[in-house]
C-alpha cells in the first residue's frame, strides 16, 4: 500500500481533545503534559498533521515577549515518526513566526539533534533575556529546576 497522504494545517477547537491526548501520551518521553483547558484556550497556537481524520502530529508557536516566541508541544505519533512530519510542523511554525515579525525562536528540548538541521542550535540559558525566560515554558515545567532539557534558539529573518 502507498504511504497515506499527510495534510497540515491550523488546529480548530474541535481538535483540542485529540491534541491534548497526543501531547499527554508523550508524558515522560520528551513532552510536558498539559491540561485540556490549556490546549483549548491556546488552540490558535497549534498546527496539526493529519492522516485522514486522525491527528498524527502537532506543534504550538507561543509568543513570549520582546520579539521572542517559543516552540512547544511538538509530538508525532510513534507509528508515523521518521516520515518528515515533525520537520514540516517546525517549518510551518517558523513560517508563521516570520510572518508575525518574531525575531528569535526558542525551545526547550531533550532532542536538540533533531532541531539542528532546522538551524536551531543549543545556547546558554544566560543568553536569553531574564524576562523572556521567566515567561517561557521551562520555569513552569513540573520538572523544573531538574529538567534535563537543553535550550535551543535561532534568529528569524524578517525580509
Ligand X SMILES: CC(C)(COP(=O)(O)OP(=O)(O)OC[C@H]1O[C@@H](n2cnc3c(N)ncnc32)[C@H](O)[C@@H]1OP(=O)(O)O)[C@@H](O)C(=O)NCCC(=O)NCCS
Instruction: Look at the alpha carbons of 93, 96, 100, 101 in this order and tell me if their dihedral is positive or negative.
Output: positive
Residue 150 DSSP SS3:
strand
Q: How far is the CB of 126 from ligand X (least distance, A)?
A: 21
The CB-side HSE value for 8 (13 A sphere, CA atoms) comes to 15
Nearer to ligand X, 84 or 101 (CB): 84
Q: Which is nearer to ligand X, 29 or 53 (CB)?
A: 29
Nearer to ligand X, 139 or 158 (CB): 139
**Three-state SS annotation for 122-136:** ECCHHHCCHHHHHHC
What is the Cα–Cα distance from 159 to 149, expressed in whole angstroms? 31
Q: Which is nearer to ligand X, 47 or 86 (CB)?
A: 86
Q: H helices of 2-141, where?
A: 16-24, 36-41, 85-100, 112-116, 130-135, 137-140
In contact, 118 and 86? CB cutoff 8 Å: no
Return residues touching ligand X (CB under 6 A). Answer: 26, 29-31, 74-76, 81-87, 107, 109, 111, 113-114
> Which one, 121 or 158, has the nearer CB to ligand X?
121
Could you tell me the smallest distance in angstroms from the CB atom of residue 83 to ligand X?
5
Nearest distance from C-beta of residue 139 to ligand X, angstroms: 16
Minimum separation from the CB atom of position 159 to ligand X (A) = 25
**Residue for cell digits 497540515?**
8
Residue nearest to ligand X (CB): 86
Amino acid at each position: 500500500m502507498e504511504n497515506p497522504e499527510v495534510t497540515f494545517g491550523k488546529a480548530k477547537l474541535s481538535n483540542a481533545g485529540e491534541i491534548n491526548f497526543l501531547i499527554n501520551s508523550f508524558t515522560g518521553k520528551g513532552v510536558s503534559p498539559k491540561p485540556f483547558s490549556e490546549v483549548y484556550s491556546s488552540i490558535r497556537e497549534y498546527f496539526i498533521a493529519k492522516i485522514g481524520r486522525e491527528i498524527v502530529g502537532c506543534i504550538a508557536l507561543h509568543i513570549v515577549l520582546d520579539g521572542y516566541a517559543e516552540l512547544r508541544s511538538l509530538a508525532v505519533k510513534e507509528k508515523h515518526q521518521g516520515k518528515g512530519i515533525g520537520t514540516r510542523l517546525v517549518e510551518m511554525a517558523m513560517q508563521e513566526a516570520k510572518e508575525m515579525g518574531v525575531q528569535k525562536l526558542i525551545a526547550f528540548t531533550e532532542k536538540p539533534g533533531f532541531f539542528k538541521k532546522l538551524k536551531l542550535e543549543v545556547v546558554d540559558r544566560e543568553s536569553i533575556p531574564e524576562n523572556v525566560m521567566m515567561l517561557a515554558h521551562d520555569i513552569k515545567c513540573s520538572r523544573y529546576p531538574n529538567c534535563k532539557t537543553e535550550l535551543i534558539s535561532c534568529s528569524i529573518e524578517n525580509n
